[in-house]
Amino acid sequence: MLLTEIQYHPPAALFAELLRADGILLEAHEHYRKQTYRNRCLIRTAQGVQPLTVPVINGNRAEKVSISAIEIDYRQNWIHRHWRTLQTAYGNSPYFEYYADYLHDIYVGKPALLFELNLQFLQLMLRCFRLSLPLRLTHEYLPSYPAQPYSEKLSLSSSQSIIADRRDWLTPKANAKTVETDSPAVLPLVRPYPQVFGPGFEPGLSVLDLLFSQGPAAGQYLL
């Protein structure tokens, strides 16, 4: 069971990990953290790598609020900006039109909460990668999980599985926390693929970059 925070269009590396998982445990009771993939993603444009950030209400005080209660700030016209940027960056990619309507429907639905927006996008991505994994939410925040089969109290499930804690091992910040040498964060989990803008391969981009480029074959680039 892979334990992770919920992210906005997360890096493709997360889905490489999910290919090896037997389920997903989403952290639903942490405090929101700014400048993370919780409300931003990285895409590649003609001008280079660019972040797309979902604004949240009372962003300066948001770190004291549970992630499942963070509200999206729709007073800002961010949906238009994000969608136009995606169209400009990927409109000529082989599979943008293949996925565009599914993504657009979620955007225009305007979920009130960041957690709900990210959850809808995650469920869509799981379908795109044909991953049928049980998905659970935590019922409380625990700073660490025992390295043993989890109990019903921890997992809210009667099945036996080991929790692999992957919270915050993917981060857009330069000062990412140190990871153990056997952590997937230090391994190349995404095989280089032809990206829309080059030259060279840019790792760490949103899974959207991989999907728009490779479509149904995207899973072949996850190691």
Average pLDDT over residues 110-128: 98
Q: What is the pLDDT of residues 61-101, one digit of tens each?
A: 767 899 999 999 999 999 999 999 999 999 999 999 999 99
- The pLDDT, as a whole number, for residue 51 is 96
Q: How many CB atoms lie within 10 A of CB 54?
A: 20
Higher pLDDT, 148 or 56: 56
- The pLDDT, as a whole number, for residue 188 is 75
Question: pLDDT band at 58, cuts 50/70/90?
Answer: confident
- C-alpha 102/C-alpha 191 separation (Å) is 26
Q: What is the pLDDT of residues 166-221, one digit of tens each?
A: 999 999 875 344 444 444 444 579 999 999 998 899 999 999 999 999 999 999 99
Query: Which residue type is seen at 43?
Result: I
Point out the least confidently predicted range of 11-25, 39-53, 61-75: 61-75
For residues 183-202, b (16+ Cβ closer than 10 Å) or e, as one string?
ebbeeebbeeeebbbeeeeb
- The pLDDT, as a whole number, for residue 63 is 73
Q: Find the farthest-apart pair of alpha carbons in the chain and give their distance in angstroms, rounded.
A: 50
End-to-end CA distance of the chain: 18
Domain range annotation of the chain:
2-221
Q: What is the pLDDT of residues 138-165, one digit of tens each?
A: 999 999 887 655 554 444 444 457 899 9
Token pair for 144? 């660490």
- C-alpha 42/C-alpha 205 separation (Å) is 5
- The pLDDT, as a whole number, for residue 64 is 84
